[in-house]
Amino acid sequence: MKLDMSGNSPYARRARIALREGGLVDRVEEVAVTDFSQLEAVGPGGKIPVLVTDSGRSLCESLIITRYLNDLAGGGLLPRTADELESCLVLESTGSVLMDSLFARSRENNQREEHERSPLLLERETGRSRRCYDTLESIIGSEGDVISLGTIAAVTALGYADWRAPEDNWHEGRPALQAYYERVMSRPSFAETAPVF
C-alpha cells in the first residue's frame, strides 16, 4: 500500500500515527507529495492524505483511512465496549471539529490577502476552536493511557493549533489537557510525526 502525504499535514499525520500504532509501517509506503496537482489522478478529493490499497483503490478522507487502517491492524484503536466506544467517538469528533476549524482559519489567513479575509468567518472559527479546547479539557480527565483514534484526532489537532494558531494559547488554563498532550507526545508514533515549524 501507499500513503500519499505531507509531513506537516495534520490530516496525514492522523493516518501516519494510526500506521505506527497499528504496527502497519512495513505494509505501507509513505510518499511525500510535492506536486499536489498529481493527487487528482489518485483520488477525486485532490488532497492529502490518500491511501492506495493493495487492490489499487484510493481512500481519500483521513477519517476513512484511519478506520481502514484500524481494521487492518485488528481493531485495537477503537474500544470494544459501548460506553468506552462512545467516549472515544466524543474525543475523536471534538478533535476533528477542532482540526477543521483551525484549517479554515489557516486558509483564510494564509491564502487570502488581508482585504479579502472574512472577519466573520475568523471570529466564528476562533469561537469554535475555543469551545473545542474547553470541551477537551473537560473530558480528557477520563482518558487513561490507552491510545485510540480519539487520542490521535485530539492530539494532532492540538499540535496543529500550536503551529497555525499559536495566538489561541490553548495550553493556558487547561492543565488536564496540557498534561495529557505532553504524556501522549512522548510516544514515538506522535513524536516522529510532529509538524516542523
Task: Please tell me the distance from the alpha carbon of residue 137 to that of residue 178, in angstroms, as a whole number.
Answer: 8
The size of the chain, in residues, is 197
pTM of the predicted model over 0.75: yes
Q: Which cell is 69 given?
A: 487502517
Please give the chain's pLDDT, 197 residues, in tens: 999 998 889 999 999 999 999 999 999 999 998 877 777 777 777 888 999 999 999 998 999 999 999 999 999 999 999 999 999 999 999 999 999 999 999 988 887 788 888 889 999 999 999 999 999 999 997 667 789 999 999 999 999 999 999 999 999 999 999 999 999 999 999 999 998 88
Q: What is the pLDDT of residue 176?
A: 94
Q: How far is CA 3 from the centre of its chain?
A: 15
**Same fold: 2-72 with 82-187:** no
Please state whether 3 falls in left (phi above 0), alpha (psi between -120 and 50) or beta: beta
- Helix residue ranges per DSSP H, the chain: 10-21, 39-42, 62-72, 82-111, 119-139, 149-164, 175-185, 188-191
Contact 136, 151 (CB under 8 A): no
Element (H, E) at 30: strand 29-32
CATH of domain 2-72: 3.40.30.10
- For residue 136, the SS3 value is helix
What are the residue ranges spanned by the domains of the chain? Answer: 2-72, 82-187
Q: What is the pLDDT of residue 141?
A: 73
Element (H, E) at 3: strand 2-5
CATH of domain 82-187: 1.20.1050.10
Q: What is the pLDDT of residue 142?
A: 67
Task: Please tell me the distance from the alpha carbon of residue 117 to that of residue 115, in angstroms, as a whole number.
Answer: 6
Task: Please tell me the distance from the alpha carbon of residue 183 to that of residue 45, in angstroms, as a whole number.
Answer: 34
Q: Which cell is 67 given?
A: 478506520
Q: What is the pLDDT of residue 67?
A: 98
- For residue 173, the SS3 value is coil
